[in-house]
Structure 1
Amino acid sequence: MIEAAALLPDHADRSAGARLHAILDGIPFGVVTLAIAADGALRIRRINAAAARTLAVDPALLIGRALEDAFPRIAGTSVPARLRRTALLGEALATMELAYDGALDGGVVEITAFSSAAGEAAVFVRDVTNRRRAEQRVAQSEQHWRRLFEHSGDAILIARRGCYVAANRRAHELFRAGDAAIVDLPIGALSPNDVDVTRVQVEEALGVARAQGWFETEREFRRFDGTIFPGEGTITLIDEEEDSFQLSVRDISERREAERLRSQATAELERQVSLRTAELRHALADLEATQETLIRREKLASLGDLVAGVAHEINTPVGIGVTAVTHLQGQIATLTRALAQGTLGRVQLEQGLAEATRSLEITHANLARAADLVRSFKQTSVDQSSQAVRAIALGDWLRSLLVSLEPTTKRARLCVSLAVEPEGEVTTDPGALAQVITNLVSNAAIHAFEGRDDRRVALVAAIGARTLEIRFSDNGVGMEPAVAARIFDPFFTTKRSSGGTGLGLHILHNLVTARLGGDIAVDSAPGAGTTFVLTLPIRGAEA
């Protein structure tokens, strides 16, 4: 290797060379000096610090080496020959770019050379790797944007200073431009409105876009063939100084048609719903009227059964009384004839008086029985027709009610037991309570004991501090769970073929929950009888 000192002219001042080296190292850009050696090779004479950093090399290893040996990557290029001409002929080398291997992933430097002395060349080196990479990224980004621009599903137009300067393929398709050019058209050319009106609208839109960066609107656009279509337009500000913006347009004809059809379908649906609602209201009114009628019939039927039963019960004591009075009349007539004929003796008189006494006793007892029945019936009728809240002696009131229900219980062969714990008064609605007990008894008589001879019903009332609990139990056939779950539903009955309406327990449930303000529960199982539990608030005990 030729030493660097051998490249210096014999007459060179060593101290001047040292100062020159110091100056070169202080220069912020890279400098490489070359010289033609005695063997004719173009060798590296000096590499300053900036060049060493740029090329990522150690100057000590390269000083004195031939250019092609130091940088093999340029050996096959025209660079060495051109630098030789610069050194020998003074021919300057214009700026050019070279790839080099100094960086980890390679780099690009920009070089410029001129002749510094006979047989010498000075090469200025500047690293442009970052700039080239930035330019490459910009180019890639622009290429990517161009692809997005051209293949976007929306029509995209770029406008600058009142004219369109670019339009993608979708824009030409949407506006049916054909071979016509959208570029250079004024921004109002694609609007069905007057150009001046359109420009005012665009200026207003740009004002909004300047404030928030974009502006979105729905408006009509005009195609090149003159047809009008609704579109969704978005204006995005690009450069306020150049008055440039991007307009994205999407055809919303199908959406508008879908909205129209949906609106039409909604209106039709609302009309049908309105009609159906009116029909349902009418049907519900008819149903409620029918239900009220059936409930009245059910009540009248219950009252009719009660009247018929009481009439039957009264008929017996009254008939016996009539028979006893008739017998008494006969005895009196016999005694009167004997007295008139003068044949009335002491024995006949005593016997006649004894028969009369027995007839009067029989008549009195049966008339008293009839009076009790009438009194119980009257009180029950008054209670069931009244909604007045009053205090009642619960035990006596229930016993009187059961007396009025004896026609039903006797006809159904029911053995009814009553227990009130403790005896006392409660304030309640006796009319509603009488209807509830009556319906429970009637329900048990009709449904509970089919096919059974042992027919026992227990009515147990427990008076608490705030509530009254009434348990109505039977030892009948019981119910399946599916039946028990529906017994309070209106019109649900297992005896429809026998004339059942399915309203008795429904009325009972409404009376308990609505009029009496309580709750009712049922416990039943097949073969194990049924128990109804009523929990009723005692009026006046809330405090």
Structure 2
Amino acid sequence: MIKNSSLKSELLISILLVITLGIGTIFYFSYNYLKKEIDISQERIYNEKIDNILYLVNQKYQTLLKTQMEKSYEESFKKGTLNIIKNVFDKDNKEIFPFIINEKGFVVLHRTYNEQNSHLYKDKPEYKKILQEKNGNFEILKKNNERWIIFKHFEPWDWIIGYRIDKEVKYEELYRFRDMFLIISVIIVFVISLIIILIVREVLEPVDMLSDVSKKIAAGDLDAKIDVSGVKELKILSTNFEKMRDKIVEDIHQLQEQEEKIKAFNSKLQEDVRHRTKELEEEKKVFETLFNDSSDGISLLKYGKFIDCNLALLKLLEISEKEEFLNLDPEEISPEAQPNGISSSNLANEYINKCLEKGSIRFEWLHKKISGKEFWCEIVLTNVIINEELVIHGVWRDIQDKKLLELELENKNLDLQESNDELEASMENLIITQNKLVESEKLAGLGSLVSGVANEISAPIGIGVTGASHLEYICEEISSKYENSSISPDEWKNYLESSNELVKVIVTNLNKTEKIIKNFKQVAVDQTGELKRIFKVKEYIRGILISIDSLLNNRNIEFKIECDDMLELNSFPGFFAQILNHLISNSLEHAYKDNDKGVISLRAKIEGKSFIFEYRDYGKGILEENLSKIYEPFFTTNRKNGSIGLGLNIVYNLVTINLSGEINCESEENKGTTFTIKIPL
């Protein structure tokens, strides 16, 4: 059973295994039988509970029918019935509680779910299964969430009424039985193990003694004493074991004598075999080296002269007879110099010396056919011993096609390198041009901001100047009349009222101008300085909208800001202003036409450790095939009207590079576009 285990261990394990299997079988059938009985009992109990609820609901329904005003009072009866069911049947038990699904498919009685949070359960498979079957029961098997659900259908109101029970509660008695059975089983196995150990130890002790003696004999102690007491069978076994040992000793002596004879015979035989094998190996090497049908050329070189070759080499050199090849000097089948400029003769001697030194060498060589045509070969030279003489064995492989391909590839690489150099130069020029255009776009945005503010403050300043001029005029007029003592009370009263109104107009317009300039200064400094500071998000958004009011002139655009008034952010407001400015410009240019009425919603919040800003318009939207290109520099669908396509590229760079955040765009044609920006805090 167990490798290298003792007889005691195997016997003990076998008995315990039988006992364990028996206990396990009893437990399996008992457990399953009890589980079936509990399932039947629990189904009967909770069917009765559901029937009680159905009886109560039916009573309410019958009462409603008696009123003969079902449509008028049905909803109130349903609400009253739910309250009664909750007070009567929904006790304070987190593991067991009833639930009701109304005719609209909403859970109207539950510890967790209701009509308002239907999105939490509408897609759950158990909810769909209840709606589909309407009557029945089933189990929900999920990690840390195993439950049993039983339910019935009340047809008059199309209600599904049921109970949700945790499996821990449903099978409480079964689990108690399981734990008790396991504890008792462990105790039984432990006690039986002790008893079996004592019995086995007493019965098998002589066997252990005999095993120890056998180990000594196996280790070489053939004089070990064999004296085993015990039952009659063990005594007979020990006597026979002793006889067997004596016979083994006798056989060992005989084997030792035979071994000496065999060693002497083997020594002579090995010497004869070694000598003959050496002769055969030398003959085999010569035969295989020269005459094996190889596609590569093979040659033997001794003392600088060819002594043999195969047919493949003759074919390679275009030589018809072997004798013609053997009469050739090696220098005759090579050009005077190799492509590296070294003499073929000197380089060949160098390679031969390296071969003699290292035993083998591989190199490429430019050879020459007997016709004078040059071609490339890969040469492998190896030292071999033939008939106790050193010979250089050469293998020739034609690599002319390979070398031509390498040369062609090298030329193409040079051409490719030149093209890459030209592309790199073009790319550098493109990057410089792009950077200049991005800076120009930033300056153009700031110029538009300055122009807008200038237009915005010109109106209040003009009104203030007009009011001040008029005030100066009426002051001079009243002064003149005062000096001539010709002023009347009514004129004095009119003067005071007019001057008071003019002063209010002047102050109001100066305050408005001050507010515009203050907002402009804040935004302009943030856009150019890019300083990190703490600012209130909602107040800053309003300031940006005021500063770009000139962009919104004659545009019927409504802004909706959803942001906590006290939300503060420690970041770079200048980047934020540029992002919002470009997004609004993008919506005005692409989402809405000049006369369109539009809405732009701005949402800002803190979520976890991130600041989330959502910008949304409800205009034309972006075509699906263009969504993947909107952040690319110079991509625009409105180039005919002067757009250069850098606005969203600047937004993308500001979000991802300057603010280390991420931006996502979702759009549907004719339904608007949403940009969601997530910036880590």
TM bin (shorter chain): 0.5 to 0.7
Aligned in 2, Cα 1:470/1:177: closer, same or farther, shift over 3 Å? closer
Match in the other structure for 1:477: 620
Shift of 1:158: 4.8
Partner residue of 2:531 out of 374, 388, 409 = 388
Instruction: Trace 1:215-364 onto structure 2 (pairs within 5 A).
Output: 216-219=362-365, 231-235=377-381, 239-243=385-389, 245=391, 247-250=393-396, 252=398, 254-255=400-401, 258=404, 261-262=407-408, 265-266=409-410, 268-364=411-507
8 Å Cα contact 1:237-1:246 kept in structure 2: yes
Match in the other structure for 1:205: 355
How many Å separate the matches in 1 of 2:346 and 2:546? Answer: 101
Aligned in 2, Cα 1:189/1:241: closer, same or farther, shift over 3 Å? farther
Instruction: Give the secondary structure class of the aligned counterpart of 1:423.
Output: coil
Please state if 1:418 is matched with 2:564: no
Shift of 1:281: 2.6
Aligned in 2, Cα 1:151/1:413: closer, same or farther, shift over 3 Å? same
Shift of 1:174: 4.7
How many Å separate the matches in 1 of 2:629 and 2:325? Answer: 79
**Matching residue's letter, 1:496:** R
Aligned in 2, Cα 1:240/1:444: closer, same or farther, shift over 3 Å? same
Instruction: Trace 1:167-182 onto structure 2 (pairs within 5 A).
Output: 167-174=309-316, 181-182=323-324
> TM-score, normalised on structure 1?
0.63
Match in the other structure for 1:515: 658
Partner residue of 2:511 out of 368, 385, 406 = 368
**Matching residue's letter, 2:423:** L
How many Å separate the matches in 1 of 2:467 and 2:608? Answer: 51
Match in the other structure for 1:456: 599
Instruction: Give the secondary structure class of the aligned counterpart of 1:469.
Output: strand
How many Å separate the matches in 2 of 1:482 and 1:196? Answer: 69
Aligned in 2, Cα 1:195/1:258: closer, same or farther, shift over 3 Å? closer
Shift of 1:150: 8.4
The superposition leaves residues 390-436 of structure 1 with CA deviations (integer Å, 9 ceiling, x where unpaired) of 11122222222221122222343321122213623210011111111
Instruction: Trace 1:496-535 onto structure 2 (pairs within 5 A).
Output: 496-535=639-678
Shift of 1:360: 0.4
Shift of 1:370: 0.8
Shift of 1:293: 2.2
> TM-score, normalised on structure 2?
0.51
Shift of 1:469: 0.9
Aligned in 2, Cα 1:497/1:247: closer, same or farther, shift over 3 Å? same
Instruction: Give the secondary structure class of the aligned counterpart of 1:318.
Output: helix
Please state if 1:404 is matched with 2:547: yes
Match in the other structure for 2:610: 467
**Matching residue's letter, 1:321:** G
Match in the other structure for 1:82: none
The unaligned stretches of length 5 or more in structure 1 are: 1-137, 539-543
Aligned in 2, Cα 1:537/1:220: closer, same or farther, shift over 3 Å? closer
How many Å separate the matches in 2 of 1:307 and 1:452? Answer: 25
**Matching residue's letter, 1:376:** N
Shift of 1:287: 1.5
Shift of 1:449: 1.0
Q: How many residues align?
A: 391
Match in the other structure for 1:56: none
Instruction: Trace 1:63-142 onto structure 2 (pairs within 5 A).
Output: none
How many Å separate the matches in 2 of 1:203 and 1:250? Answer: 18
Aligned in 2, Cα 1:160/1:341: closer, same or farther, shift over 3 Å? closer
Aligned in 2, Cα 1:171/1:411: closer, same or farther, shift over 3 Å? same
How many Å separate the matches in 2 of 1:408 and 1:439? Answer: 12
Q: Which has the higher helix share?
A: 2
Match in the other structure for 2:520: 377
Shift of 1:275: 3.1
The superposition leaves residues 430-467 of structure 1 with CA deviations (integer Å, 9 ceiling, x where unpaired) of 11111111111111121111276321111111124421
The superposition leaves residues 24-52 of structure 1 with CA deviations (integer Å, 9 ceiling, x where unpaired) of xxxxxxxxxxxxxxxxxxxxxxxxxxxxx
Shift of 1:489: 1.1
How many Å separate the matches in 1 of 2:439 and 2:351? Answer: 74
Aligned in 2, Cα 1:418/1:435: closer, same or farther, shift over 3 Å? same
CA RMSD of aligned residues (A): 3.8
Shift of 1:520: 0.9
Match in the other structure for 1:438: 581
8 Å Cα contact 2:560-2:602 kept in structure 1: yes
Instruction: Give the secondary structure class of the aligned counterpart of 1:524.
Output: strand
**Matching residue's letter, 2:389:** D
How many Å separate the matches in 2 of 1:194 and 1:421? Answer: 89
8 Å Cα contact 2:375-2:400 kept in structure 1: no
8 Å Cα contact 1:167-1:182 kept in structure 2: no
How many Å separate the matches in 1 of 2:650 and 2:346? Answer: 79
How many Å separate the matches in 2 of 1:378 and 1:286? Answer: 36
Shift of 1:226: 8.7
Shift of 1:355: 0.3
Partner residue of 2:629 out of 483, 486, 490 = 486
How many Å separate the matches in 2 of 1:149 and 1:222? Answer: 24
The superposition leaves residues 127-151 of structure 1 with CA deviations (integer Å, 9 ceiling, x where unpaired) of xxxxxxxxxxx9xx99xx7999386
Instruction: Give the secondary structure class of the aligned counterpart of 2:604.
Output: strand
The unaligned stretches of length 5 or more in structure 2 are: 1-279, 335-342
Q: Which has the higher strand share?
A: 1
Match in the other structure for 1:149: 291
Shift of 1:526: 1.1
Aligned in 2, Cα 1:422/1:178: closer, same or farther, shift over 3 Å? same
How many Å separate the matches in 2 of 1:341 and 1:524? Answer: 76
